[in-house]
Structure 1
Amino acid sequence: MKTYSLSATLRKEVGKKATRDQRRQGLIPVEIYGGEKNQSLLVSKKDVRNLIYSPDVHTVELSVEGGDKVMCIVQDLQFHPVTDEVLHIDLLQISEDKPIVVNMPIVLDGFAKGVRAGGTLITRMRYLKVKGLYTNIPDRLHIDITNMGVDQPIQVRSLSFDNLELLNAGNAVVATIKSSREMAAMAAQMEAEEEAAAPAAPEAPAEEAAEDSAE
């Protein structure tokens, strides 16, 4: 995984008023777990933007004032329900000898045989949950689909990655290829279901119905 460097200061004041003041100053409260003791910290909002709003999964090299650097991963994020700004970050301290669990992005490599034959590639999963030492986890999980044919789905149980354990259900489908005929049938079925689910037109009031019948 890529490493993201981040600096933090100790959070000396807590409570609602202190938190509001800190956020007005462009600071975000952070809790770090997994070490000898939990720590309450503050980081700059602008410093975490590229960490939070990124498709990649990072390890975080955290430098805390008055302390050593520690390696972490983002455990949880709290966002504002309206502005979508980050309100709070939970970090988990990690070590080279203790496995971690993370959701890793998937990349499908190659021009599938079924697509060359006119089929359509459908991606069912974009992330896989893996367990392993963070030093063994790559930036992305690459899956070769070159020999994948029509109606030959790739399931989790058929995948393996060096030094990693996959935690998703074995029968979960990562990707599949459907023929043009199957795609047309699926589209027709979806259209029929949408029409069936559409609300019926409201009935005219009794007076209007009477007027209509009198015309």
Structure 2
Amino acid sequence: MKTITIEGQLRTGTGKKATRQLRSQGLVPGVIYGGTKELNFQAPVLAFKSLVYTPEFQLANISVDGQAYNCILKDIQFDTVSNALSHVDFLQLVDDRQVIADIPLKFTGTAAGVKAGGKLVTKMKSLKVKTYPKYLKENIEVDLTDLEVNGNIRVEDVVTENYEVLNSPRIPIASVVMTRQLKQEESAAAPAAKGAAPAKAAPAAKK
């Protein structure tokens, strides 16, 4: 699984004045929690770019004054005026402690309903799961192959070994809907089938 390395320094100053000064120097304040103690740190804004500005789920190895912490990103904040990254929260991974994470969905295969002329509509991008750190992965695969027109794949249909899925099981993840063209074709086919005259029986052979 992809891991981003971030080099940071211990942050001693807190409060609005201290954080404004950090940001003016191109640094972003952050916090690591979930371990034995909460740790405030700072790192260059560019160090977070490949972790924050991506839909991928990745791990972060954060080094603070020589001490390494394996983490996952839990929250990000942006400045309301400039939209610049202003704060990051990380959860430290502990082997024997379960974590809650949003794992992206990866759709595979071509739905049968799409082959029949329908349109695929995806309604969720990730699942919220509870698991141990060793089971975290980049994505959860969802096979669309057997999805028919007007059919749905729901949360409860997804196979997720070693995960406790926290989303409601009946929520649709993906569906195939009729396109306008497919509706027109079915509408045109229905009267034709209904109005077709039954075949006449052949006359009986004369004896």
1:144 is aligned with what amino acid?
A: D
TM-score (norm 1): 0.80
C-alpha RMSD of the superposition: 1.8
Task: After TM superposition, give the deviation of residue 160 of structure 1 in Å.
Answer: 1.6
Counterpart Cα distance in 1 of 2:3 and 2:97: 17
Would you say 1:73 and 2:69 are equivalent positions?
no
Task: After TM superposition, give the deviation of residue 181 of structure 1 in Å.
Answer: 4.9
Contiguous gaps of at least 5 residues in structure 1: 186-215
Give the secondary structure class of the aligned counterpart of 1:21: helix
Retained in 1: the 8 A contact 2:117–2:182? Answer: no
Partner of 1:141: 140
Would you say 1:89 and 2:88 are equivalent positions?
yes
Counterpart Cα distance in 2 of 1:167 and 1:183: 36
TM-score (norm 2): 0.83
Give the secondary structure class of the aligned counterpart of 2:73: strand
Call closer, same or farther: CA 1:178–1:13 in 2, change over 3 Å: same
Higher helix content, 1 or 2:
1
2:135 is aligned with what amino acid?
A: N
Q: Quick one: percent identity of the two aligned structures? A: 35
Report matched runs for 1:24-173 at 5 Å: 24-66=24-66, 68-173=67-172
Task: After TM superposition, give the deviation of residue 142 of structure 1 in Å.
Answer: 1.0
Task: After TM superposition, give the deviation of residue 95 of structure 1 in Å.
Answer: 1.4
Retained in 2: the 8 A contact 1:137–1:164? Answer: no
Question: Which of the two has higher C-alpha Rg?
Answer: 2
Counterpart Cα distance in 2 of 1:20 and 1:181: 54
Counterpart Cα distance in 1 of 2:148 and 2:176: 7
Retained in 1: the 8 A contact 2:35–2:94? Answer: no
Task: After TM superposition, give the deviation of residue 45 of structure 1 in Å.
Answer: 0.5
Give the secondary structure class of the aligned counterpart of 2:62: strand
Report matched runs for 1:3-22 at 5 Å: 3-22=3-22
Worse-superposed segment, 11-20 or 37-46:
11-20
Contiguous gaps of at least 5 residues in structure 2: 185-207
Partner of 1:179: 178
Aligned residues: 184
Counterpart Cα distance in 2 of 1:92 and 1:55: 18
